[in-house]
Structure 1
Amino acid sequence: MEAKIISSVQNSLVKKILLLKEKSRERRKTGLFVVEGQRELELAQKGGFYFETLLHCPEILPQLDTSLISKNPNAEIVQLSKQVYEKVAYRETTEGILAIAKAKEHSLEDIQFSTKTPLVLVAEAPEKPGNVGALLRTADAAAVDAVLIANPKSDLYNPNIIRSSVGCVFTNQIGMGSSEEIIGFLKEHQIKINCAALTASKNYAECDFTEATAIVVGTEATGLTEDWLQNSDQNIIIPMQGEIDSMNVSVSAAILIFEAKRQRGF
């Protein structure tokens, strides 16, 4: 199939890409988002995402990977001039390839566990895309069984989240819902709720994370809401030796998650 060639920044497809990158409302309305970079596209494809359009700049990337084309046989193939590509590319250092992909629903009903003792990371109302991305990188590195995002403040396909997660938004099993829905889901699956909190807490190193476990983190500014604290099986804390009483949420989550992995023999 002969590729379509776009050399004008005024082209309607170019405007569509810019809208999808800049407006969460457009992403929600269309169910589409933009993926940029060879590694990110490979991870998205591995994660079961479908590409509606594949775009590349022949001056940067002469040929598309044949597996991208074969696994997305109905995708439109588009070539972009360097000027147009530089207009739509999110990163300064780029590889000459991007795609318009279809988003997933991320329903709690779709979460599947392959073990009776799953390890789950829960983040309540994470606001900063960089923190969400870092949490997803940690979850991927530890191979947690699921990441659940309660009361999300930014949409999962924000370009900043995709970039800061280094594509781990595609590699994790992710569910989204209200705090009430996720608490109900965890209880239904008999997963113990361990809340990172400052009050009535136990040193994380003294806790048992070998059973079905959810590690729940809140925002750095306000911590977890009462919904979580009232349903917590155990509040956990990372002892601080300096002047401050908290760390970046992604750092805290990494410490707790990898302690759970250590206890599990990994």
Structure 2
Amino acid sequence: MKEIQSLQNPLVKKIGVLQNKSRERKKTGLFVLEGLRELQLAVKGNYFLDTILFQDGMVSEDKIRKLTEAFETPPQIVRLSKEVYGKLAYRKTTEGVLALVHDKSHSLETLSLATRNPLILIAEAPEKPGNIGALLRTADAAGLDAILIANPKTDLYNPNTIRSSVGCIFTNNIAVGSTSEIISFLKRADITCYCADLAASTTYTEVDFNAASAIVVGTEATGLSREWLDNSDQNIIIPMAGEIDSMNVSVSAAILIFEAKRQRGELRVRR
């Protein structure tokens, strides 16, 4: 087994570049994953692992190897010194595991919906990786059929997105496209479009989410673009009683999504 003890090792430098440079992630098709739970979810999501790196003493080699038993081509496994792992890891609670992972295509053309009556979340132009991660957690918690990102301002495999999603990036059905492409997709699939808008007059509890539905949210600063509002089947609003007129986008999305799930009778405790 390969062992790395030097911070000057080429693989260590490569990981640092992938952590910090979106261009390098896109060029190589690789991203950095951190954490045992995240690694387990990536394996469950059928992601192809290139390399697993671990700090001896924090996690056992046997545990790492058991995770890779199902792969026809096992990933390279590398032992890291405490100093090297400490340099590469962002968090202290990730149980000593890092991995280089191959990304996936998230084009609309490859999106598959398992039902003819889907419930979908769409986020337009999200900028903050933390918000994207929180939206992915919400989508996973609700068991949505898909989450679509329109006109993204950051790449999906930004380390902060992966961290804030706590691995839910690997468990969701995700597609990325332009606003125009996603609107065309919704119309072809006969999916009703509900856009969250501060100027809307229809309260979100007054609409019927039982048919195939897409809930669309925009940024906290500017909301949704004119193109979304003009193509919406119904603009909806969450009434607010305080002095401010907006909430965090992931909070707003959660309110709308769980109302839709309530109407559909799909709120069940997982056991």
Which TM-score applies when normalising by structure 1? Answer: 0.97
The answer to whether 1:102 aligns with 2:106 is: no
Deviation at 1:10, TM superposition (A): 0.2
CA distance in 2, matches of 1:264, 1:149: 24
Q: Deviations over 1:147-200 (max 9, x none)?
A: 000000011111111011110011000000100000011111000110000224
- Amino acid paired to 2:181: E
Alignment of 1:82-231 (within 5 A): 82-231=82-231
Q: Specify the alignment match of 1:49 in structure 2.
A: 47
CA distance in 2, matches of 1:110, 1:226: 27
- Amino acid paired to 1:62: S
CA distance in 2, matches of 1:65, 1:10: 25
Q: Specify the alignment match of 2:65 in structure 1.
A: 66
CA distance in 2, matches of 1:141, 1:224: 24
Alignment of 1:7-86 (within 5 A): 7-63=5-61, 64-72=63-71, 73-86=73-86
CA distance in 2, matches of 1:193, 1:94: 39
CA distance in 2, matches of 1:46, 1:60: 22
CA distance in 1, matches of 2:4, 2:23: 26
- Counterparts in 2 of 1:69 and 1:197: CA distance versus 1, 3 Å: same
CA distance in 1, matches of 2:154, 2:171: 19
CA distance in 2, matches of 1:143, 1:131: 18
- Amino acid paired to 1:232: S
Q: Specify the alignment match of 2:2 in structure 1.
A: 4
Aligned-partner SS, 1:169: helix
CA distance in 2, matches of 1:125, 1:200: 20
Q: Percent identity?
A: 64
Alignment of 1:230-245 (within 5 A): 230-245=230-245
For the 8 Å contact 1:59–1:82, the answer to whether it is kept is no
CA distance in 1, matches of 2:22, 2:145: 27
CA distance in 1, matches of 2:172, 2:86: 30
Aligned-partner SS, 1:265: coil
Aligned-partner SS, 2:11: helix
Q: Specify the alignment match of 2:269 in structure 1.
A: none
Aligned-partner SS, 2:169: coil
Deviation at 1:52, TM superposition (A): 0.5
- Amino acid paired to 2:214: A
Which TM-score applies when normalising by structure 2? Answer: 0.95
Deviation at 1:55, TM superposition (A): 0.9
Unaligned runs of 5+ in 1: none
CA distance in 1, matches of 2:220, 2:139: 18
Deviation at 1:92, TM superposition (A): 2.5
For the 8 Å contact 1:17–1:34, the answer to whether it is kept is yes
CA distance in 2, matches of 1:94, 1:171: 19
Structure 1 runs (4+) greater than 6 angstroms displaced: none
Unaligned runs of 5+ in 2: 267-271
CA RMSD of aligned residues (A): 1.0
Q: Deviations over 1:97-146 (max 9, x none)?
A: 11100001101111111111100000000011111111000000000000
